[in-house]
Amino acid sequence: MPTYRRNGFALLASILLPVLAAAQTPPASPSQAEGRYMVQFRQAGAADAAAIRAAGGTPVHQFPDLSVIAARLPAAALAALRANPNVVAIEEDPRRYPSAQTVPYGITMVQAREVGDTSAGNRKVCVIDSGYYMAHADLQGANVTASPNSGTGDPYVDRCGHGTHVAGTIAALNNSEGVVGVVGNGALQLHIVKVFGDSCSWTYSSDLIAAATACEGANANVINMSLGGGVRSRFEEQKFDALYRAGVLSVAAAGNGGNTQHHYPASYSSVISVAAIDSGKNHASFSQRTSQVELAAPGVGVLSTVPWVGASVTVDGATYLAAGIEGAAQTAGTTGPLVDGGLCTSSGRWSGAVVLCERGSISFSEKVQNVQAGGGAAAVIYNNVSGGFAGTLGSGNSSAIPAISVSREDGLILLGSTGTSATVVNSTAEGSGYEAWDGTSMATPHVAAVAALIWSHNPGWTNAMIREALQNTAEDLGPAGRDTSFGFGLIRAKAALDYLSGSTPPPPPPSDPIALQGRGYKVKGVQKVDLSWTGSSAADIDVRRNGASLTTVPNTGSHTDTIGKGGGSYTYQVCEAGTTVCSNTVTITF
């Protein structure tokens, strides 16, 4: 009779875009009464600056090689200089903006920016997920390894995006673009194991065991598992227990069911279970509440890297991240003058324009159709309440023009730029994009990366020391003390590092090279215990029960103890015969 049970593991992110951040906010406009211009004269000379001043302007820069003077000019001065026969040309001094990088709120909230990362290269985080989009402009190419393709496709291709989003939270680069991760210097070692293929759905528990074994083989210190399933596996638990004993810190998502059920591997004692909170440190309603929840981290509206271009609108050199309206046309870049369409409840004369529409009154589909009917090249719908939103044209609907949504905050900024050129992008093509996602999947990498970051300050610290420090320094949230929603609370990198600072590395762990496992069962009322062990090459093994030697057997790696009828609790240990080299203890209770 087959006893196979499909032990499915789902990715733990809802692919939603509820919170969208402005990549950049342009500086406030200067007074319109006076503008910055560059004035070119026929000949460079001291008389040029005098001419500017005589007209009522104020020189700012002089470029003799160009015969140009940059100056602040009131309208009257501008008119006077235009009439000056010595002036060749006048050009408005256009604005230039710094390339901007957004620091996602979660990175700040977990104190990642308060802890030095110069030694991050001595730690390795293994990411078991859907792959890693190696070509992303904001992700490191160095210090990354991957387990070979085992049927899920190239590990450096991620058509699902989940693994790339998780990796961005861990290690997006601290540069002039996009976002930044917990460790932004590109030094942290990453090992990628791709268990989710392009279908992005589920994998088997045994695939996860194999992946964890691959992490172990790659000498990972921390394993990130933004995944889980509701069915426990004894063998999987044994694997993570063994990894913990071997010094690996495993971190997994508590689950997105919004219920009180345990999710695995998060709910094994040897794995840290991570709950999700929002930017206000409130418990995310989807985040599962269990006795195993250990730490909380940001998991709502987490902005990170995705392997597709995505949606945005760029005006005056500033790019605002957006969300594509479902069903609308794709575009790699549609440019037109930005106009205010109000609520877009009717069509205007919008030929070639990028039309701003406020959300409300009519459906998104009707707004986009009105923009299209008015000749508009693209529609940008901004929210009528704070934050962003994910919109759709409705089932089966489409539009010939691209349409995207932005937050109310960004919409109001854009309203101040009407008349200038705007470029709308809405593309699922492969590329370096960013999206804000929800999920305990998004919370988990904050914890894995913070653990690696603080651990890098002293590789002599043990996984247990790191775990204890994270627990004892978490910011208590919700009911006082550990609770099922937040565990010990919000993870805090700086506090944990301070807690550990001054700690000296402990002596090497007690000689415990033999790993013992036991399983108890009854046959017609007779208690039996199957023992199995690894890690010893001795010829003979002494089996001990409740502290006393029971028998000495050849080292076959296993032994069955038959106790007789009845019940009780029995503690086992095995030692190399005639030595004090012993295993851990295992207690079996009937």
Chain residues binding Ca ion by CB under 5 A are 101, 138, 173, 175, 178, 180, 476, 478, 483, 486
The CA angle 534-540-542, to the nearest 5 degrees, is 80
> What does 379-445 look like in DSSP terms, one character per residue?
EEEE-SSSS----B--TT---SS-EEEE-HHHHHHHHTTTTSEEEEEEEEEEEEEEEEEBSHHHHHH
Q: What's the closest the beta carbon of residue 105 comes to Ca ion, in angstroms? A: 15
Q: Which residue's CB is nearer to Ca ion, number 40 or number 185?
A: 185
Q: Which residue's CB is nearer to Ca ion, number 248 or number 490?
A: 490
Q: Which of 120, 116, 106, 114 is nearest to 452 (CA)?
A: 120
Structure tokens at 194: 């791709």
Q: What's the closest the beta carbon of residue 474 comes to Ca ion, in angstroms? A: 9
Q: What's the closest the beta carbon of residue 83 comes to Ca ion, in angstroms? A: 49
Q: Which residue's CB is nearer to Ca ion, number 131 or number 178?
A: 178
Q: Kindly report each contact of residues 545-553 with a partner whose C-beta sits within 8 Å and lies 24 or more positions away, as own/partner.
A: 545/570, 545/571, 545/572, 546/570, 546/571, 547/571, 552/577
Q: Which residue's CB is nearer to Ca ion, number 24 or number 369?
A: 24
Q: Which residue's CB is nearer to Ca ion, number 193 or number 272?
A: 272
Q: Which residues pair with 355 in a beta bridge?
A: 339, 379
Q: What's the closest the beta carbon of residue 17 comes to Ca ion, in angstroms? A: 19
Q: What's the closest the beta carbon of residue 290 comes to Ca ion, in angstroms? A: 14
Residues in Cβ contact with 105 at an 8 Å cutoff, skipping those fewer than 6 apart: 279, 298, 301
* Helices 493-500 and 463-473, axial angle in degrees (round to 10): 120
Q: Are strands 58-63 and 87-92 parallel, antiparallel or unpaired?
A: unpaired
Structure tokens at 6: 């499909």
Q: What's the closest the beta carbon of residue 16 comes to Ca ion, in angstroms? A: 23
List of E strands, 209-343:
222-225, 227-228, 249-253, 271-277, 293-298, 302-315, 318-324, 331-340
Q: What's the closest the beta carbon of residue 140 comes to Ca ion, in angstroms? A: 10
Q: Kindly report each contact of residues 478-486 with a partner whose C-beta sits within 8 Å and lies 24 or more positions away, as own/partner.
A: 478/283, 483/293, 484/260, 484/289, 484/290, 484/291, 484/293, 485/275, 485/283, 485/287, 485/289, 485/293, 485/296, 486/275, 486/277, 486/283, 486/293, 486/296
Q: What's the closest the beta carbon of residue 137 comes to Ca ion, in angstroms? A: 8
Q: Which residue's CB is nearer to Ca ion, number 196 or number 486?
A: 486
Q: Which residue's CB is nearer to Ca ion, number 180 or number 309?
A: 180
What distances in angstroms separate CA 54 from CA 43, 48, 59, 69, one per listed residue? 17, 10, 11, 14
Q: What's the closest the beta carbon of residue 163 comes to Ca ion, in angstroms? A: 18
Q: Which residue's CB is nearer to Ca ion, number 443 or number 529?
A: 443
Q: What's the closest the beta carbon of residue 104 comes to Ca ion, in angstroms? A: 10
Q: Which residue's CB is nearer to Ca ion, number 20 or number 78?
A: 20
Q: What's the closest the beta carbon of residue 235 comes to Ca ion, in angstroms? A: 33
Q: Which residue's CB is nearer to Ca ion, number 480 or number 539?
A: 480
Classify residue 417 by burial, with Cβ atoms within 10 Å: 0-12, 13-18, 19+: middle
Structure tokens at 76: 């009257």
Q: Which residue's CB is nearer to Ca ion, number 183 or number 452?
A: 183
What is the H or E stretch that residue 470 is in? helix 463-473
CA distance 289 to 485: 5
Q: What's the closest the beta carbon of residue 28 comes to Ca ion, in angstroms? A: 25
Q: What's the closest the beta carbon of residue 119 comes to Ca ion, in angstroms? A: 21
CA distance 558 to 235: 16
Q: Quote the distance between the C-alpha of residue 2 and its chain's center.
A: 40
Q: Which of 428, 197, 233 is nearest to 325 (CA)?
A: 428
Residue 346 amino acid letter: S
Q: Which of 314, 338, 305, 344 is nearest to 426 (CA)?
A: 314
Q: Which residue's CB is nearer to Ca ion, number 291 or number 560?
A: 291
Q: Which residue's CB is nearer to Ca ion, number 180 or number 356?
A: 180
Structure tokens at 197: 């293929």
Q: What's the closest the beta carbon of residue 486 comes to Ca ion, in angstroms? A: 5
Q: Which residue's CB is nearer to Ca ion, number 184 or number 348?
A: 184
3-state secondary structure 262-296: CCECCCCCCEEEEEEECCCCCECCCCCCCCCEEEE
